[in-house]
Amino acid sequence: MCGIVGYIGNREAYPILVNGLKRLEYRGYDSAGISLLGKDQAASIYKKKGKVADLEAYAKTHDISGDIGIGHTRWATHGEPNDINAHPHASENGHFIVIHNGIIENYSHLKKKLEDRDYTFKSETDTEVLANLMEYIYLKGRVSAEIAVRLALHKVIGAYGLAIICREEPDTLIAARRGSPLVIGVGENEYFLASDATPIVEHTKSVIYLNDNEMAVLGRDKMLLKTLNNDQLTPKVQKLDMEIGDIEKNGYPHFMLKEIFEQPRSIKDTFRGRISQEMTEISLGGLHTVMPDLEKARRIIILGCGTSWHAGLIGEYLIEDLARVPVEVEYASEFRYRNPIIHKDDIVITISQSGETADSLAAIQLAKEAGATVLGICNVVGSSIPRETDAGVYTHAGPEIGVASTKAFTTQVTVLAMMAIMLSKKKGNITSSHYQNLVAELSDIPKKIDNILAYNDEFLKLARLYKDATNFLYLGRGYSFPVALEGALKLKEISYIHAEGYPAAEMKHGPIALIDENMPVVVIALQDKSYDKIVSNIQEIKARKGKVIALVTQGDTTIREMADHVMGIPPTPETLASLLTVIPLQLLSYHIAVLRGCSVDQPRNLAKSVTVE
């Protein structure tokens, strides 16, 4: 949440910052701001409520020169989104200019102490408190900006990713991290700073990931990396495995549509190097060291938030079904606060696209303290969760920019399917022919997704019919139940239509009361072991005049007779069907949101990377 960019070098900072903010806008978009500083100039600050485009329109009539700068795109925590609360925040006498991602928990205590020393505040933000605290220490102690920042951070409780400039030190940009991600890009006599690598990749592929409790003091041609206790560190420069094309729309009107259509490719990337050429073996290199623990695990606990939690539910069905290991799936936010029982021989798997979700990170800490082996399934390489876990698997979906998760979900489920199939073989739970059949079927999934995507126009037609509905119900059984939850989540996230996902059999315990001729009900009704039951559910809906949109196995004629609309899904084993059934639901939500004029890639109030609790 909140995107940070920074630049120090010999180029004009403004275009670098504004392009960077556009890349990071998925992290928050209720206001944006920049501050620029040159060798012989006073620092300028421009900030605006709204999107980066609003900031750009405002800034272009002002002086935007300067070769040091910081920029921010905000997801409000303290104070409503407006021009005043937008970042950057300057200290009272203008010595420090600060942007911040995170939450300073003891800000009211610090604010009171500063007010007692005659400091006044313009905004309601915790960040302005930080700027004033740094300035107070700087002036009172007559210390350098670096020392003032470090001493101030010792007084702070909370989470932060910070970019700081000091008016008197126009050759220095300071960054500090605890809990919120920061990456430094290393160029030729220039450095870039960002919340993730997407603003950096077009300038350099050499990056340094800042760890918690570290700060970097960046000059034009030198950098110092230190702990917040002032111990000097040797920077570890890594190469970015990302291309600029990965983070552009490439002709699609929205990132979400691009990412939906990328799924056949992203799932292949998830397989790459992990399924043998003869399609007989699965090998997940990232789990080799923990394989013995996995094989003897008494229980697996899967944690995640949002869409990643839905992937976790499918993981539960897969692992219990195939590998016969008991699995519990929990929201990371609930797990961490409810005093859960964690055994040393438990395996905890945390699923996260961003690898930065604050609740998931905190839950990992709890599991580690209890002695469990903690694994990660993440997309963003180098993010915090892969670094905090004992082992894990990257999904390799490539950057996901649309706030509503699509390809991250299907690649997470792909990894979970590979884990379940691999574990079931190691534990001797499936025959080798069943194993080989599942591996071959998994390899066929991208082709089958292509087959569904070819019907995109049909989903648009359907969207035209239902775009004005005020409620939607999504039903499924077994593996299709988490898909129903995910379909409902997609719709509410981007089109603001109320939607609920339910196990189909539970409909009669409540939601059936809502069904009338105005209620579209999406039913996932494949020819699997609960087919007859779900056919009955469809009849129950039709008896109450509900509108049924059914996802059926291609060739199904029974449901075609009853439902208002049917969409055919290529036949596939029940265990893998969620990778297919979710695609029509993504497309339906997408088209409904576009037709309703919603901001598809940046839905209101949401952010992609939720680094606050």
- Active-site residue numbers? 2, 608
- Smallest separation (angstroms) from ligand G6P to the CB of 520: 23
Which CB sits closer to ligand G6P, 95 or 407?
A: 407
- Smallest separation (angstroms) from ligand G6P to the CB of 355: 7
Selection from 356, 361, 394, 359 nearest residue 378 by Cα: 394
Mapping DSSP to helix (H, G, I), strand (E, B) and coil, where does residue 505 land?
helix
Q: Pairing state of beta strands 565-569 and 547-553?
A: parallel
CA distance 469 to 449: 27
Which CB sits closer to ligand G6P, 91 or 352?
A: 352
Angle at 173 between CA 169 and CA 176, to 5 degrees: 125
- Smallest separation (angstroms) from ligand G6P to the CB of 404: 6
Which CB sits closer to ligand G6P, 114 or 351?
A: 351
Strands (E), 298-390: 299-304, 327-331, 346-352, 373-378
- Smallest separation (angstroms) from ligand G6P to the CB of 403: 5
Question: Could you write out the three-class secondary structure of 5-42?
Answer: EEEECCCCHHHHHHHHHHHHHHHCCCEEEEEEECCCCC
> Which uninterrupted H or E stretch holds 370?
none
Structural contact between residues 425 and 437, judged by C-beta atoms closer than 8 angstroms: no
- Smallest separation (angstroms) from ligand G6P to the CB of 351: 7
Interaction site with ligand G6P (CB under 6 A): 305-308, 352-354, 357, 360, 403-405, 606, 608, 610
Q: Which residue has the tokens 């299907």?
A: 410
Which CB sits closer to ligand G6P, 530 or 578?
A: 578
Which CB sits closer to ligand G6P, 125 or 405?
A: 405
CA distance 409 to 415: 10
Q: Which residue has the tokens 């990371």?
A: 332
- Smallest separation (angstroms) from ligand G6P to the CB of 567: 24
Selection from 406, 407, 381, 410 nearest residue 393 by Cα: 381
Which CB sits closer to ligand G6P, 305 or 559?
A: 305
Distances (CA, A) of 236 to 174, 198, 207, 384, 510: 18, 19, 8, 15, 56
- Smallest separation (angstroms) from ligand G6P to the CB of 306: 3
Which CB sits closer to ligand G6P, 137 or 329?
A: 329
Selection from 416, 396, 418 nearest residue 407 by Cα: 396
Position with the least CB separation from ligand G6P: 306
What is the phi/psi pair of residue 429, to 5°? Answer: -90, -15
